[in-house]
Structure 1
Amino acid sequence: MKKYIVTALAVVSSVCAIAGEKPTSGVMFDASKGVAGSVSMPNGKIVNYTAYTKLYYVTNVEDSTYQYMNVFVPDGADQSTPIFMPNYVGGYMAAKPQSVNAGDASGRALAEGYVVAIPGVRGRNSVVTNADGESVYTGRAPKALLDLKAAVRYLRHFDKEMPGDAEKIITNGTSAGGAMSALLGATGNNPVYEEYLKEMGAANERDDIFAAVCFCPITDLDHADAAYEWLYGCTNNVTRHLSDEQAEVSKELASQYPAYLNSLNLKKADGTLLTSDNYLDYLKELLMKSAQEAKDYGATIPDSIGFAFSGMPQFIAPVNGGMRGDGRPALRPERSAKSQGEYITDLDLERYLNYVVSMTPLKTPPAFDSKGVAGNNASGENEEFGDENGSSVNFTDYSLQKSTGNEDAQVDSRIKTAVKLMNPMNFISAPNTTVAQHWYIRHGAIDRDTAFPVPINLATKLQNEGKDVNFKLAWNRPHSGDYALNEMFEWIKSLLDKP
């Protein structure tokens, strides 16, 4: 036992010693550098693995704290084993490469027998000091996405040398990390990223993926402010308290959203065109389906939050299925479940939205591009689109005009390009792009970190393009990820079992 520990430490120490060094002859992988390890799962199962750490996925390493990957290969894995690639991006901030965690999807994936690849990712807060002693921000948009694309290319480059099937990469992320997972799924091989990746020294390989798992993706940022006010404006005079200036901003933003929504030309599964006139009815259907499924599995649905019940269905009730949610409403039901009736037949959407707001207060308008508007400070998204000097910038024309008082102000081309590159909605139907075929998208039914239309539009556009999409507004879930893992990994297994 002592001999094994000394050997393992020797390998790790040698790796750590080159943490700040840059590969000089292309990305590298040495199969002899693996270190044995194990993780104990919550059910007591011990999963043994071989770890390959400090795998730099580009040759021009700008930030050695983040631009590498750790790969964990469970015993029994071979070249045909799928690769689960989670990222730990949150708030568009940097994320260091991690070890597998028994408490989240990475540990569960390892226990399921999948190779787990965890890349580090630069973010809006990652900084290095240059030769002149100046701080340089290394991770402003679209750097995080580029890092993840480079990691995918690395896995493909060493597909024959490393266990795991690079044609079966399944990404996973939550919040801004959910957006990153969505971007990886939506932008595969699009040539607009190629020059950036060449400059980084990424492997000359494809960067499309097999499947994307996206929990509460914070995306479509250039339209997210308008979506937020269009949906939640009905709460302004009830549970949301705004200044006169904020109320005016809310009204103006809300008025912008219908035109964008209509421009998407989204369709329901039955072919019905979704417009600003019928969209809220579509949202009601999705929320009713979520609540019905939870009710079928024993959840208590309060009358007080807007649902109507009947002993007989007034529409075709969802097929029973899915996983029991462990979240419970904060409000007590006014009547017993028996007197409510088995079926949810309607929803007062405005009442329900006020319930959501009562659980977690809304962001003040604008929710995302807030810098200098209506007395708001800069948001994380304002930093995300800043430059290497650490600036925070407005990234929509509306907020720039409001913050400067110049009605003709326009966001400059650099920022507009970064915003475009960070929105998966721009690429799902783009030419010369390999969009992932399989998608698992979850957004909590009480998650107000972005408006419901943002993930709904993403899922619906993918469905309209013929992709396999498993989408749900998870009942009574706040902003969170890596939940209902039994359901999630059953979905993954169902993909892999297909011929």
Structure 2
Amino acid sequence: MKIFLKSSICFLMMSIFNAQAQNSLVFDSSKFVELSQEVNGKLLKVRAYENIVYVANPVEANFQKLNIYVPEEYFNGEKINGFTVETAPIFFPNKVGGYMPAMPATFINPPQRGPFGGNNQSILLALSKGYIVASAGARGRTSPTGKAPAGLVDLKAAIRYLKFNDKLMAGDAHKIISNGTSAGGAMSTLLGATANHPDYEPYLKALGAATATDDIFAVSAYCPIINLENADMAYEWQFNKIHNYKKMIFSNVNGEFKREMKDGTLDAESINVSDKLKKAFPAYVNSLNLKDNEGKKLELDGNGDGNFKELVMSYILASAQKAISTGVDLSKVDFIEIKDGKVISVDFDKYMTYMERMKTPPAFDALDNSSPENQVFGTATVDKRHFTNFAIQQTASDPSTLAESLQIKMMNPINYIGDAQAKTAKHWRVRHGAKDKDTGFAVPVILVTTLKNKGFNIDFALPWDKPHSGDYDLEELFIWTDSICK
């Protein structure tokens, strides 16, 4: 087995590695600690290789670290869930939230930090099912060196480290499955869509990333906050008639993230902005040339109606139907028509009233440059910038204050799916809660439809009544990963 052949393999690899890799990028299998904790009534023992700096020239080494966990059984020649030390897939979860800096996930649950806390249940379940876990930290928007595409580039560099050291490590680096939620879900989709594309190469070279590829086998993404330059239009297409809002405000108090809700009503100026954004959305959808399952073009008319809207609603119907099949009583819900246990229709406007608006227009490229996403598109010297022409036009700002087109492009997976210079992941599992109002339903639907049209394997659903969250169906997730890996 490859772990026990460390000495001979190291000798072989050292003879072909370049000097930079010899000094900093060769995995040392002797540097580990043994950890254990109980999972589902069974003691789970692992070897933990933690705080590995995965680039030769780190910019923020406190974040550019990788934690790797390997079930102890593999070192005894055992199989887990049908996998061996050589065939075990690598589960690659990130803890990115709000495009903030993120530490790698850990086997021992850390103190709660960040908008999604420190839950590590996905790691424990993955290990118990025989997966190797590798989790990388990444820079984020609050740092001058963490502006787009820094966080994505960091995760790509970590993938390259794993592939570079494949012969020295447990697991199969050709079976890497990324996982993330919200902005972390966005990172997961970007890893799957942009792999090996030359747009990112200068950034990877500057970091001293390992000389390997960064393509991955599969993507798991929960509520990905993507397609940012078009997400404002998608949000208002969905929530245009909803003028009351409950906005979530995040604050950082002594390193702990706090959430509070702010209620309000859109003023006349905001309603006008919403109307303009909704009106612009059909042209964008129609320009994508998306097709339904019968090959018919998906479109919207000037009022925002059409078969694209019907497609979005079909996922809501399917979600409600699945909820009923699992025993959820929806008989008293006034926005759903049910006959003989079958969901016949959903009233779109009433459903939006039930969901409630969370964000004010524009939801992402705030006109006053105050959104988290404005900070994503900053530079080392300019903290926040606009990233849509709409915001520039509405504020009469100097067009030179708009983020560069390449920076905007590199943060949208839609721009790379099927690109001949990128290697798109074959398998995708995307979940967006049916009560998630952080971005519009159209955003994930555009993503998965684009992937379907390009021939990729898609598993997509809007789980009933789920808000903005992730990792809530881990057993189902790993049933899916088993199905594509075995």
Equivalent residue for 1:208? 215
Matched, 1:420 2:444: no
Among 217, 236, 247, which residue is 2:243 paired with?
A: 236
Equivalent residue for 2:315? 286
Equivalent residue for 1:474? 463
Greater Cα shift, 483-492 or 171-180: 483-492
Among 337, 356, 359, which residue is 1:308 paired with?
A: 337
Q: What is the CA distance between 1:414 and its match in structure 2? A: 5.2
Equivalent residue for 1:463? 452
Cα pair 1:174 1:480 within 8 Å, conserved: yes
**3-state SS of 2:452 partner:** helix
Kindly tell me: are residues 68 and 355 of structure 1, through their superposed partners in 2, closer, same or farther at Cα, counting changes over 3 Å? same
Q: What is the CA distance between 1:445 and its match in structure 2? A: 0.2
Matched, 1:442 2:431: yes
Equivalent residue for 2:30? 32
Letter in 1 for 2:217: F
Letter in 1 for 2:326: Y
Cα pair 2:245 2:359 within 8 Å, conserved: no
Cα pair 1:231 1:451 within 8 Å, conserved: yes
Cα pair 1:394 1:411 within 8 Å, conserved: no
Distance 2:43 2:459 in 1: 31
Matched, 1:388 2:380: yes
Equivalent residue for 1:220? 227
Distance 1:191 1:458 in 2: 22
Among 474, 477, 483, which residue is 1:488 paired with?
A: 477
Letter in 1 for 2:31: K
Distance 1:56 1:91 in 2: 23
Letter in 1 for 2:440: A
Q: How many residues were matched structurally?
A: 425
Distance 1:247 1:68 in 2: 45
Letter in 1 for 2:376: E
1:314-329 equivalences in 2 (<5 Å): none
Equivalent residue for 2:43? 46
Structure 1 segments, 4+ long, off by >6 Å, are 237-240
Provide, for residues 91-124 of structure 1, a one-character-per-residue CA deviation record: whole Å limited to 9, x for no partner: 0000012312575211111111110001011001
Cα pair 1:58 1:200 within 8 Å, conserved: yes
Letter in 2 for 1:218: I
Cα pair 2:367 2:394 within 8 Å, conserved: no
Q: What is the CA distance between 1:46 and its match in structure 2? A: 1.4
Equivalent residue for 1:321? none
Equivalent residue for 2:364? 368
1:158-237 equivalences in 2 (<5 Å): 158-236=165-243
Equivalent residue for 1:324? none
1:89-108 equivalences in 2 (<5 Å): 89-100=96-107, 101=109, 103-108=120-125
Provide, for residues 252-291 of structure 1, a one-character-per-residue CA deviation record: whole Å limited to 9, x for no partner: 1111111110111111223232111222111121101110
Letter in 2 for 1:483: Y
Cα pair 1:305 1:355 within 8 Å, conserved: no
Provide, for residues 177-203 of structure 1, a one-character-per-residue CA deviation record: whole Å limited to 9, x for no partner: 000000000011111111111111001
Matched, 1:246 2:270: yes
TM-score, normalising length from structure 1?
0.82
Matched, 1:68 2:65: yes
Cα pair 2:181 2:470 within 8 Å, conserved: yes
Aligned alpha-carbon RMSD (Å)? 1.9
Matched, 1:298 2:327: yes
Distance 2:381 2:52 in 1: 28
Among 138, 143, 146, which residue is 1:121 paired with?
A: 138
**3-state SS of 1:99 partner:** coil
Provide, for residues 447-471 of structure 1, a one-character-per-residue CA deviation record: whole Å limited to 9, x for no partner: 0000000011101111111111000
Q: What is the CA distance between 1:26 and its match in structure 2? A: 4.0
Cα pair 1:26 1:201 within 8 Å, conserved: no
Cα pair 1:89 1:176 within 8 Å, conserved: yes
Distance 2:474 2:244 in 1: 39
**3-state SS of 1:166 partner:** coil
**3-state SS of 2:428 partner:** strand
Q: What is the CA distance between 1:69 and its match in structure 2? A: 0.3
Provide, for residues 5-32 of structure 1, a one-character-per-residue CA deviation record: whole Å limited to 9, x for no partner: xxxxxxxxxxxxxxxxx99834131111
Distance 1:84 1:168 in 2: 8
Equivalent residue for 1:157? 164
Provide, for residues 154-197 of structure 1, a one-character-per-residue CA deviation record: whole Å limited to 9, x for no partner: 00000000101100000000000000000000011111111111
Q: Which ranges in structure 2 are unaligned for 5 or more consecutive residues? A: 1-19, 75-84, 110-118, 247-263, 301-305
Provide, for residues 124-178 of structure 1, a one-character-per-residue CA deviation record: whole Å limited to 9, x for no partner: 123xxxxxxxxxx221100000000000000000000010110000000000000
Cα pair 1:115 1:164 within 8 Å, conserved: yes
Greater Cα shift, 156-165 or 68-77: 68-77
Kindly tell me: are residues 115 and 143 of structure 1, through their superposed partners in 2, closer, same or farther at Cα, counting changes over 3 Å? same
Cα pair 2:245 2:266 within 8 Å, conserved: no
Cα pair 1:211 1:439 within 8 Å, conserved: yes
Q: What is the CA distance between 1:413 and its match in structure 2? A: 7.3
Equivalent residue for 2:260? none
Distance 2:440 2:433 in 1: 11
Letter in 2 for 1:29: F
Equivalent residue for 1:19? none
Q: What is the CA distance between 1:371 and its match in structure 2? A: 4.0
Cα pair 2:100 2:140 within 8 Å, conserved: yes
Distance 1:113 1:362 in 2: 40
Cα pair 1:395 1:411 within 8 Å, conserved: no
Q: What is the CA distance between 1:302 and its match in structure 2? A: 4.7
Cα pair 1:396 1:411 within 8 Å, conserved: no
**3-state SS of 2:173 partner:** strand
Give the fraction of aligned pairs with identical amino acids, expressed as a percent. 43
Kindly tell me: are residues 230 and 411 of structure 1, through their superposed partners in 2, closer, same or farther at Cα, counting changes over 3 Å? farther
Among 130, 134, 142, which residue is 2:149 paired with?
A: 142
Provide, for residues 423-445 of structure 1, a one-character-per-residue CA deviation record: whole Å limited to 9, x for no partner: 00000021121100000000000
Cα pair 2:233 2:278 within 8 Å, conserved: yes
